[in-house]
């Protein structure tokens, strides 16, 4: 396995001090910064959009991993790529023409990801698995940070890792998002996860840089 990527979610950051929060992440062992975009339609919450992403992009030295929890994401892919997204993940549940949407993301030069809600089984993406760079397994219902981890995500991670292996897709990134902490990270890594998002676990800790380092260590 390639080394474990930790992607702190800035949804849990202090927005009044966003610049110094990004500086902290730049100084940490996090390789990616996870950016949660919510539209108040697909999910019952609204977070932030292009101006915030652009500002983060100016300050961040890490890969911006943009998780689109929005309806009809194809309308905005180009704008998100221009604003600095390097990884663009759309939800399976929002894309009736998923294959086309994935191609659009790749044409923009971004890594293409597909996210699955807790109630969406892994097998539905079998026919696009060879086309994507990343699958994001939601381990909470999307919309809010700080929720309780849903343990079934571990089983889904294993299923996905096995499906990818059966197709020889050794480079697939398997990202887990929601309620991730040192209490479940090792189980997820053993099941096949290689990207872990962590919001509150990182930003609510007394020493976020050390918390990130502790998560990274679990992957070694």
- Which residues of the shown chain bind ligand DX5 in the complex (CB under 6 A)? 9, 11-12, 34, 36, 67, 140, 142-147, 177-180, 197-201
Residue 178: count of CB within 10 angstroms of its CB: 25
How many Å apart are CA 203 and CA 187, to the nearest integer?
A: 22
Helix, strand, coil shares of the chain, percent, nearest 5, are: 45, 20, 35
Scanning the structure block, which residue is given the tokens 């992009």?
57
H helices then E strands: how many in the chain?
A: 8, 8
Instruction: Verify binding: residue 36, Zn ion, rule CB under 5 A.
Output: yes
Closest contact distance (angstroms) between CB of 196 and Zn ion is 11
Instruction: Verify binding: residue 67, Zn ion, rule CB under 5 A.
Output: yes
Helix (H) or strand (E) holding 54: helix 50-59
- Has 177 been annotated as catalytic? yes
Which listed range, 47-55, 59-67, 150-158, 168-176, lies at the site for Zn ion (CB under 5 A)?
A: 59-67
Which pair of tokens denotes residue 7? Answer: 């992607």
Closest contact distance (angstroms) between CB of 46 and Zn ion is 14
- Has 36 been annotated as catalytic? yes
C-alpha pair distances (Å), 93 with each of 8, 130, 214: 24, 19, 33
Closest contact distance (angstroms) between CB of 137 and ligand DX5 is 11
End-to-end Cα distance, the chain = 10
- Selection from ligand DX5, Zn ion, none that 163 binds (CB < 5 to 8 A by kind) is none
91 is in an annotated binding site: no
Closest contact distance (angstroms) between CB of 191 and ligand DX5 is 18
34 is in an annotated binding site: yes
Using the rule CB under 5 A, which residue among 177, 198, 201, 202 binds Zn ion? 177
SS3 1: coil
Query: Which residues are catalytically annotated?
Result: 36, 177
Residue ranges for the known binding site for substrate are 9, 67, 143-146, 177-179
User: Binding-site residues, please?
Assistant: 9, 34, 36, 67, 143-146, 177-179
């Amino acid at each position: 396995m390639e080394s474990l990527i930790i992607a702190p979610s800035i949804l849990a950051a202090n927005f009044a001090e966003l610049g110094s929060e990004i500086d902290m992440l730049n100084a940490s062992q996090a390789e990616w910064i996870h950016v949660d975009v919510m539209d108040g339609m697909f999910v019952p919450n609204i977070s932030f959009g292009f101006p915030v992403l652009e500002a983060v992009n100016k300050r961040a030295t890490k890969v911006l991993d943009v998780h689109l929890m929005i309806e009809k994401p194809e309308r905005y892919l180009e704008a998100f790529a221009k604003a600095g997204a390097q990884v663009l993940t759309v939800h399976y549940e929002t894309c009736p023409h998923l294959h086309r949407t994935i191609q659009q993301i790749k044409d923009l030069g971004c890594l293409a990801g597909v996210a699955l809600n807790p109630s969406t089984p892994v097998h539905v993406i079998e026919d696009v698995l060879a086309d994507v760079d990343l699958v994001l397994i939601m381990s909470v219902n999307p919309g809010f940070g700080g929720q309780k981890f849903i343990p079934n995500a571990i089983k889904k991670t294993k299923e996905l890792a096995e499906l990818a292996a059966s197709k020889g897709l050794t480079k697939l990134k398997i990202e887990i998002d929601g309620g991730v902490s040192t209490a479940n990270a090792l189980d997820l890594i053993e099941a096949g996860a290689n990207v872990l998002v962590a919001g509150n676990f990182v930003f609510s800790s007394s020493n976020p840089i050390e918390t990130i380092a502790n998560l990274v260590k679990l992957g070694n």
